Amino acid sequence: MPELLNTDEAATYLRLSERKLYELVASGAIPCSKVTGRWLFPKAALDRWVASGLPSSLKTLEISSPPIVGGSHDPLLEWALRESGCGLASLPEGSEAGLRRLARREVIAAAIHLHPLTGEHDRANIDAVTEAPGLHDAVLIGFSLREQGLVVAPGNPLGLRDIAQLAHSGLRVARRQDGAGAQLLLLSLLASVGIDPAALNLTRPDCVTGTDIADRIRRGQADCGIATRSVAQAAGMEFVPLIWERFDLVLRQRDYFLPGPSALFGFVRSDRFRQRASDLGGYDLSVCGEIRLVN
């Protein structure tokens, strides 16, 4: 039997009528996700849902996720993880990689900033979590708005002003890995002005973080790349602003109340955290702590 069941398969597996199954879906009582207009039911989640109704002595034990925040790299988040005393480590691999690890319970939370090729940027994180298999029990929490743009050498010697210039100048553009939020943003911005990514002179190997992009520019191995204002400022680079984006944390609902995440979310309400955001630059904390989605 497949790991993701359609409606017919789920009803048969649970020995329910389709009508009863739809009643459970409508009430939010059963784990499922809607993908391209179809309801899908993770088999492993259904097993846990059934087991939750058994006597406590027979319940399947939940596997604890390791105390790691995966997903996107961010200087303010890195600092908060360290200074809050939350005990959570960081594994920055990109937004999509973080979501996959969260679904496999390889991290306790994922930091994400996703962007569609077309459509509404503001909803991209919500849509990704809603449609992700295995994250039926997730909560999406705002961390900040971040200013993203082009990181360039001090003084902006090439006079870059917008994304459209990248395709016509032969500039060496530092590339992020596939699935990284910054790389998705680059593709989205190129699509908005009708530029084929193949027209760009993208450098290799891929940069894992925005800090790596700034370092490559500093060493003269690239002319520009997408990263946050905070990365540019910390590296002493020039910054060409392009967009403000949502930067969110996603984790399972039950893990929100564990000591590590609780300590982190308590810390981000402090004056010290807000002062650090101001010092780094490029952050808007008006959305910090906002519950954007309860899946």
Cα separation, 199 vs 170, whole angstroms: 9
Tens digit of each residue's pLDDT (9 = 90 or more) over 188-204: 999 999 999 999 999 99
Task: Work out the average pLDDT over 26-31.
Answer: 80
Q: What whole-number distance in Å separates Cα of residue 162 and Cα of residue 115?
A: 18
Quick one: average pLDDT of 65-75?
95
Lowest mean pLDDT among 46-60, 156-170, 178-192, 266-280: 46-60
Beta bridge partners of 144: 247
Q: Taking Cα atoms as reference points, which of 129, 107, 112 lies closest to residue 71? A: 112
- Summarize pLDDT for 117-149 with one digit per residue, the tens: 887 888 999 999 998 888 888 999 999 999 999
**Separation CA 163–CA 249 (nearest Å):** 28
Q: Could you tell me where in the chain the CATH 3.40.190.10 domains are found?
A: 68-142+247-283, 148-244
Amino acid at 12: T
- How many Å apart are CA 62 and CA 64, to the nearest integer? 6
SS3 183: helix
d(CA 19, CA 11): 9
Domain 68-142+247-283 matching CATH 3.40.190.10: the answer reads yes
Residues 6+ apart with CB under 8 A from 93: 70, 71, 101, 177, 208
Helix (H) or strand (E) holding 91: strand 89-92
Give Cα separations from 57 to 46, 51, 241 (angstroms): 19, 11, 57
* CATH class name, domain 148-244: alpha beta
**Residue 231 pLDDT:** 96
Q: What is the mean pLDDT of the chain?
A: 90
Q: 3-class DSSP state for residue 161? A: coil
Pick the range with the lowest mean pLDDT from 23-27, 185-189, 225-229, 274-278.
Answer: 23-27
Position 53 scores a pLDDT of 64
pTM metric for this prediction? 0.78
The pLDDT tens digits of the residues spanning 263-273 come to 999 999 999 99
